[in-house]
Amino acid sequence: MSTYCQTVRSDFSFANMGQMDLVEMFQNLKDKSALNDAAAAGVIRVELKEFRVDPAAGLSPDPSCDALYAQYKTGGPVRFAVVRTTLTPKGIAAGVEFDRPIEIATRELVDVTDIRAQSGGTARVTYTWQWKTTKMAEAIGYKPDAPKEATASLRRSNGSWAVTETGVR
């Protein structure tokens, strides 16, 4: 679970906002597009609890709000929103972990189609690769493109080959 605290004017309410509205609102979250995609796919759930807080009362509504509460201690009443992002069963099955990038696919070598020696001790390699999807890709319905052709230039160095340049066609 990931928790985030936000303040809003005391007359504001989140009551009529849906899941995607909440995701769109939290602009200062790291990589909002991934959160948006994950919420739209039903992999995570954004839960929100509102608190109307009078700083004179002396208590933060939630430990995640302590820092913000300290800033508003001398002001008038504000509304705190504690946002908890949790994984749905679909997200758990897809292997999603909070505070880690969501990996959708990795590159996979399909075939080496040509190797040509070049001047200066280099070689030009032509190969085919494709995206190999993860469980997360399946959970959100991502379908990769067809295999792609690419090239790489290699140079012999210290008894092994090192890639000096790559390109996808």
Same domain for 59 and 117?
A: no
Residue 100 falls within a domain, yes or no?
no
Domain range enclosing 125: 105-168
The DSSP call for residue 110 is E
Same domain for 41 and 68?
A: yes
Identify whether the C-beta of residue 65 lies closer than 8 Å to the C-beta of residue 49. Answer: no
pLDDT of residue 88: 85
Same domain for 30 and 54?
A: yes
Residue 99 falls within a domain, yes or no?
no
Same domain for 59 and 111?
A: no
Q: Greater confidence, 149 or 36? A: 149
pLDDT of residue 2: 65
Q: Taking the complete model, does pTM exceed 0.85, yes or no?
A: no
Asked whether the predicted pLDDT for residue 54 surpasses 80, the reply is no
In 2-96, DSSP assigns E strands to: 2-8, 44-53, 78-87
CA 92 from centroid of its chain's CA atoms: 15
Q: What are phi and psi of 26, to 5 degrees?
A: -85, 70
Q: Greater confidence, 57 or 147? A: 147
Q: What are phi and psi of 107, to 5 degrees?
A: -75, 140
Same domain for 23 and 87?
A: yes
Domain count, the chain: 2
Mean pLDDT over each residue of the chain, to the nearest integer: 75
Question: Which residues are paired to 79 by β-bridges?
Answer: 8, 52
Using alpha carbons, select from 71, 161, 151, 78 the residue that is nearest to residue 121: 161
Residue 67 falls within a domain, yes or no?
yes
Same domain for 48 and 116?
A: no
Q: Which long-range contacts (CB under 8 A, 24 or more apart) does 106-113 make?
A: 106/131, 106/132, 106/134, 107/131, 107/132, 108/132, 110/147, 113/149
Asked whether the predicted pLDDT for residue 13 surpasses 90, the reply is no
Using alpha carbons, select from 126, 114, 139 the residue that is nearest to residue 38: 139
Same domain for 155 and 76?
A: no
Q: Greater confidence, 6 or 91? A: 91
Same domain for 54 and 110?
A: no
Same domain for 133 and 67?
A: no
